[in-house]
Structure 1
Amino acid sequence: MILSKILAGLEYELIQGDLNTEIQSINYDSRGNLKDGLFIAIIGFRTDGHSFILNALANGAKAVIIEQDIPALPTGLTIVKLKSSRKALSLIAANFYENPTKKVKLIAITGTNGKTSVSYIISSLLQSLGYKIGVIGTNGIRINDHLLEDVNKTTPTTPESLDIQHIINKMSLENVEIVIMEASSMALKLGRLDNCEISTGVFTNLSHEHLDDHGTFEDYKNSKKILFDLTSYGIINADDPYFEDFNRQSAKIISFGLDTKADLNGNNVKLLADSTELKISYIDQVIQCSIPLPGRFNIYNTLAAIGACLSIGIDFGDIINKIKFIKPIDGRTENIKNDRNLKIIIDYAHTPNALKNVMETLKAITIGRLITVFGCGGNRDKEKRPKMGNIATQIADYVILTNDNPRYEDPKIIVNEIINGITTENYKIILDRKEAINTALEMAQEDDIILIAGKGSEEYQTVQGVNIPFSDKQTVLDYLK
C-alpha cells in the first residue's frame, strides 16, 4: 500500500521524500519487522521512539513518522511529521489493514473485575452455537480453543492499536465471525480502540482500583466510559453504583442484574459448591437454568455474556440452552482436582472487591478451614494493600502473605503495607511464593479449602524487570505428585 493511502484522514506535513512510497510493513518497535516498512516514532512512558530511528532504518524502514524534529536524517528517506504519532496510530493501522473490524462483529468488555471471565463465557456460548470465535485478552490471543503462537504474547490486556488491527485482520482471514476483546481503561484512554468498529460494549463493574495509572477515580471512570462512545450497543450492570454514568453513553442498552428491574434479570438464586441454579428472565421469557461456575460474581459474568450474545441477534432460548456447556476458566476459581479431599482454588483476584467476592463464595461452602495465600503487586496501587490484608484475614481462617510480581519494589515493604490493614493474628509471612503455597498445602486437612489468589494463569513472577518462570498451578501439581 502506498504511504498516502496509509495516511488518509490525517493532517500531516511531508518533511522529505515521496508519498507514493510503497509500504509493506508497519511497526512502532525498531526491532520488529520493518522490511520496506514504515516506522512510527512514538514518545512512550519510558522510552522515546525518536531515539531508535536509525535502528529502524538499519532494520529495513524506508519511511518514518515523527512528531518532533530530528536533525541529520539520511536523504532518500521519506519523513512525515504528525502532531501526535500515538493518536494517529489507530487510524494508520486501520488504513493499512483495510479496516478488519468491519469484517467481523467485535464485542469489547470493560470493567474493574470480570473482563476475562465474561470473554470466556461469551466465547464458550458462541462456540457451542457453532460460531468461529477470536479472543484477545489477559489469557492470550486465540481462535476458538487454539492459542495463536505467531502473535506478540508480551502485549498487555488490550494490545496496542496496531497490534489489534493486525490480530483482527489475521482472524478475519481465518474466517472468524466474532471477536471478543478485553478493553482496559488505559487502552481506552490511550486510544487503542479508536477506529475499531465495535458492535457491542460490555460494562461489568467499577470500583476504586488502578489509581496508580489514572491518578483519580474520575479519570479511571471516564476512561472506561470511552468504550460506550465507540459502540452503538451497551450491556450494562444495573446493580453497579455507577450504572447511570454508563447508561447514558450508548444508543441501545441491555441492562442486567439480580432481583432488579433490569432487562436481563436473575432471581431465585441457589449457590452450590461448583455451580449456581437460578431463573433468568428477559422480556416475557423466564427460564430455569444451572450455571456450571460457582459464586454470585459468576452470575453477573454470565448475565453480561448472555446480554452480549443477545445484542448480536442470538435467540434468548438458544443461549440459555448452551449455558451448560460453559467451560471452566483457567485461573478463575479454577479447582485443582486431587485425592486428598481438599478443594484447591487458583484465582486471579488481585483487587479488594475481587478478593472479597471469591473468598466469600468459598467461605460459604467451607466445611473445614479456608486458607488463603496472596500478595500484592509491586509498582501498583498502594492504597489497596491494607484493604486486601483486612479482607483476607477477616474472611479466611488463616492467611499466608507472599510475593506477587514485586517488580521494582522491595517485597518486605509491600507485605508491611498489607499488614497495616490487619487487626488479627491469623496470618504469617512467607515471601517465597512456592514455599508459601507448599506450606498452605502441608497444613491443610480434609475438607479445608485453599485459595491461591492474585496470579491466576500467569506463568511468570516479575522481579526487577525480569519475568521469572512461575506458575501457581504447576507449583500445586508438583506438590501433589
Structure 2
Amino acid sequence: MSTYQPTGIKKLFHRLRRAAAGKWLSFLHVNQIAITGSQGKTHATYILYELLKQLGNTLRTDINLDTLYNVPITAMKVLPWTKFVIWELGIDKIGEMNVHLEIVKPEVSIMTGISSVHTDEQHLKSLANVIKEKRRIIEVLPKKGHAILNFDDQNVRAMRSHTLAQVLSYGTDKKYDFSFDKKSIKLTIEGTTGTMNLKGTTITISTPLLGAYHFYNLLAGYAAFSLFIRKKNGIWLFQEVVKDLKPLRGRMSIEKGPMNTILLNDSLRANPASTEAGLETLDKIDYKKGRKIAVIGEMGELANAKKDHAETGNVIARLTLDYLVCIGPLRKNTIERLWAMGYPKENIFYASDVFQAADILKNLLKPGDLWYLKGSLLRNYKRIVHLLNGEEVCCREVVCPYNHCGYDKAIK
C-alpha cells in the first residue's frame, strides 16, 4: 500500500470519486470477480484476465496502483458493454477490505493463500487479523456466488464455513475440484510443465510461468473461468492461453543478468511463503550450464521477523544450492540457523546492504551462473543489478521506495 495521504481539495476529490464509482457500478450489469491473498493474487489476476478477455470485454485493477485508489479508478472505467471486471484487493490496514467492498460487489471470490505478511504493529498486527480481513471477500458473496479456495492452505480451507456461496476447492489433492500433480512438475528456465485434474479431466499444461506454485494460480484462474464457459471449450482455450503467458517482471521472471549470467528476478515482493516457493523453484530448475546462487534480502512487515527469517534457513538446508548471499541484519538469523544445522560456512556470504552485496557478487558470479534475487519491495534490491551493470543508483538508503532507482521501470 502507498503512503500517499491526500489533503484539502484532493481529499475531497477522492471521496467524491469513490461515491461516484460506487453509484456508477451499481447501474451496470457486469460480472465481478474479487481476488485476494498474501501471495499469488497478482498472477492469479493476470491469468484470469488473459482467460476472460477471450470471452468478452474485460477490465482489471492496475498492477502498479494502490488498491484504495485503484478500485474507484477501475470502477469508473467500466462501460455498459464491459462483461467482466477483476478486482485484485490488497490490504494492509484493519477495515480496509470493507472500504474496497463499498464499491466492489463480487459474485466470485478467489482466496490464494495466507501468510504472515503485514502482521507487524504498524499494519494488521496479527495473523488472525490478516485472516479476518481477507475473509471478507467470501463472507459478502451471495448464495448463488462462488468462493474459490486454496484448500492446501489450512487457513484458507477453514474459511469455507464463512460463506453462503458454493465453495470450489483447488490444490494438490485429487479429491479437490481442481488439482495438480506435484510429482509431475518439470522446471526449466523456459517454464513449467505438469498435469492437472479439472473436475475429472486430466490434462498436461505447459507455461512460460516459472515455478510449481504457479499451478495454484493457474487452477484458481481456470476455476473462475470455467463458470462462464462450457467445459470442453474451456479446457482447450485454457491450454492455449497459458502456453503464451509471459512472466511478470520482478515476479519470477528470467532475465539476462549482469556479467553474462542468468537472473531469476523475484525482487518485487517477499514474505515467508513466496520466499520458500522461490528458493524451491531455483533448486528444482533443470539447469547445468552454471552454478545456482541465491541472493536473499529481508522480508518486511512481519510480527515475528527474527523467527520468520530464521526459518528460511530450514528451507535452504534441504536444497542443493552452490552459494547463498544474505542481505541485511534480519538475514543474520537465517545464517545462524544454517550454521546450527551444519551448513558449510564457506558457501554463505553476508552483506549489510545492496552495495556490499554487489561487491560480493562481482567476485562471486561467473558467466553462465543462474542466480535468484529475492527481497522486500521497499528494500529495492533491484539496485544490485544496476550496480553490477555499472549503472548509477539514485540513493544509498536501506528503505528505497519502488519508484526510486529504476524500480518503476522494472515492473512496467
For the aligned pair, the TM-score class normalised by the smaller chain equals 0.7 to 0.9
1:237 aligned residue = 150
2:23 aligned residue = 98
Following the alignment from structure 2 to structure 1, what is the Cα–Cα distance between the partners of residues 153 and 38? 11
Check conservation: 2:169, 2:177, Cα contact below 8 A: yes
Whether 1:374 and 2:315 are equivalent positions in the alignment is no
Give 1:399-410 correspondences, 5 Å limit. 399-402=324-327
2:85 aligned residue = 179
1:470 aligned residue = 405
Following the alignment from structure 1 to structure 2, what is the Cα–Cα distance between the partners of residues 118 and 420? 35
- Secondary structure of 2:135's counterpart equals helix
1:328 aligned residue = 247
1:135 aligned residue = 60
Check conservation: 1:186, 1:223, Cα contact below 8 A: no
Following the alignment from structure 2 to structure 1, what is the Cα–Cα distance between the partners of residues 354 and 207? 32
Whether 1:388 and 2:278 are equivalent positions in the alignment is no
Following the alignment from structure 2 to structure 1, what is the Cα–Cα distance between the partners of residues 226 and 137? 19
Letter in 2 for 1:388: T
2:129 aligned residue = 219
Check conservation: 1:106, 1:198, Cα contact below 8 A: yes
Quote how far apart the aligned CAs of 1:132 are. Answer: 3.6
Number of matched residues?
Answer: 368
Percent of aligned pairs with the same amino acid: 21
The TM-score with structure 1 as length reference comes to 0.66
Following the alignment from structure 2 to structure 1, what is the Cα–Cα distance between the partners of residues 371 and 210? 15
1:303 aligned residue = 219
Whether 1:443 and 2:381 are equivalent positions in the alignment is no
Whether 1:249 and 2:162 are equivalent positions in the alignment is yes
Whether 1:192 and 2:99 are equivalent positions in the alignment is yes
Q: Gaps spanning 5+ residues in structure 2: where?
A: 384-394
Query: Which of 296, 299, 322 is residue 397 of structure 1 equivalent to?
Result: 322
The 10-residue stretch of structure 1 (108-117 or 342-351) with the greater mean CA deviation from structure 2: 342-351
Q: Report which of the two structures shows the higher radius of gyration computed on alpha carbons.
A: 1
Query: Which of 249, 257, 262 is residue 176 of structure 2 equivalent to?
Result: 262
- Secondary structure of 1:278's counterpart equals strand
Check conservation: 1:94, 1:165, Cα contact below 8 A: no
Quote how far apart the aligned CAs of 1:336 are. Answer: 0.7
Residues 358 and 28 of structure 1: CA distance in aligned 2, closer, same or farther (over 3 Å): closer
Following the alignment from structure 1 to structure 2, what is the Cα–Cα distance between the partners of residues 283 and 325? 24
Per-residue displacement from partner, 1:377-428 (whole Å, max 9, x unpaired)?
456442422223553466433222225xxxxxxxxx4444554434242322
Quote how far apart the aligned CAs of 1:237 are. Answer: 1.2
Letter in 2 for 1:262: Y
Give 1:447-458 correspondences, 5 Å limit. 447-455=368-376
Letter in 1 for 2:30: V
Following the alignment from structure 1 to structure 2, what is the Cα–Cα distance between the partners of residues 440 and 473? 24
Give 1:197-208 correspondences, 5 Å limit. 197-208=105-116
Quote how far apart the aligned CAs of 1:174 are. Answer: 9.3
Q: Gaps spanning 5+ residues in structure 1: where?
A: 1-26, 41-88, 141-152, 404-412, 476-481
Letter in 2 for 1:335: I
The TM-score with structure 2 as length reference comes to 0.76
Whether 1:110 and 2:45 are equivalent positions in the alignment is no
2:272 aligned residue = 352
- Secondary structure of 2:248's counterpart equals coil
Quote how far apart the aligned CAs of 1:375 are. Answer: 1.4
- Relative contact order: is structure 1 or structure 2 higher (C-alpha 8 Å, sep ≥ 6)? 2
Letter in 1 for 2:32: L
Letter in 2 for 1:399: L
Residues 344 and 173 of structure 1: CA distance in aligned 2, closer, same or farther (over 3 Å): same
Residues 470 and 392 of structure 1: CA distance in aligned 2, closer, same or farther (over 3 Å): farther
Letter in 2 for 1:199: E
Check conservation: 1:385, 1:421, Cα contact below 8 A: no
Quote how far apart the aligned CAs of 1:203 are. Answer: 1.2
Following the alignment from structure 1 to structure 2, what is the Cα–Cα distance between the partners of residues 398 and 473? 29
Determine which structure has the larger helix proportion and give its number: 2
